[in-house]
Structure formats: structure tokens, C-alpha cells
Amino acid sequence: MVRVALIAHDDEKPEMIDLVEAYEGVLSEFDLVSTGTTGKRIMEETDLTIDRKQSGPLGGDTQIGALVAEDEMDAIVFLRDPLTAQPHEPDISALLRICDVHDVPLATTRTAAEYVLDGVAADIEME
């Protein structure tokens, strides 16, 4: 099964919820992983089940990075706030590096996320 991670900085959580609601049908076909707070918010707002890791400040993004390193992740959506991210929020640099090393797509904007999710869904249909 396709495994996708969902991560969002605090100011981007409403955008993540909106994206997930728009793609709920597609995402219901995936094995979803998320950092703690983002995953909790998504599960409160949708019928999706998510494997919640630690919250970002406690290392959830690192746990997801480890899944990438173990070839257990197919794509990541990390909606980040490039202008006002807080010190307690996950840093994208290590996650971006490990995704680049393992050729795992990582979307950081809503538009890029839509392209990635559409692409992963299309790959499933082709199999």
C-alpha cells in the first residue's frame, strides 16, 4: 500500500485540513502517517485513520525521515510556513535531504501537494 506522510506548521494546519478534505477520497486509499498534532487535527475533521508519530518538536519529523531511509515512504506533504515558522516547529532541511537521497517526493505548498497526490493516485491506477 502507498504510504504518504502529512506534516504542517501551526499556521498551515488549516490549509492542510482543507487539502485533506478535498482529497479525502484519494487519501483513504493510502496508508497515512503524520506528526502528532497534525494527525490529530486531521482525524478530528475527517474519517481518515492516521498513524500518528510524535509531534514535530518531539521528533515526529525525524521518525518520518527514518521511514524514508527505510524505503517505507512514498511521498510527503509538508505544508510549511516559510515566513513565520516558530522555533518549536519541525525543520524541513533534514527531511528534505533524506527525501532527495531516496528520491521521495516532498511537497511544501498546496499546489505541489495536489500534483504529488494526483501523481501517486495515478500510479496506483496504472498498476
Does the annotation flag 55 for ligand binding?
yes
53 annotated to bind ligand: no
- Could you write out the three-class secondary structure of 82-123? CCCCCCCCCCHHHHHHHHHHHCCCEECCHHHHHHHHHHHHHH
- Is residue 61 among the annotated active site residues? yes
Whether 12 and 81 have beta carbons less than 8 Å apart is answered as: yes
Does 40 show up as a binding residue in the annotation? no
Residue from 11, 18, 61, 100 carrying the catalytic annotation: 61
The response to whether 102 counts as a known ligand-binding position is no
Question: Does 119 belong to an annotated binding site?
Answer: no
- Annotation-wise, does 108 bind a ligand? no
Supply the residues annotated as catalytic: 61
Annotated binding site for substrate: 9, 13, 35-38, 55-56, 88
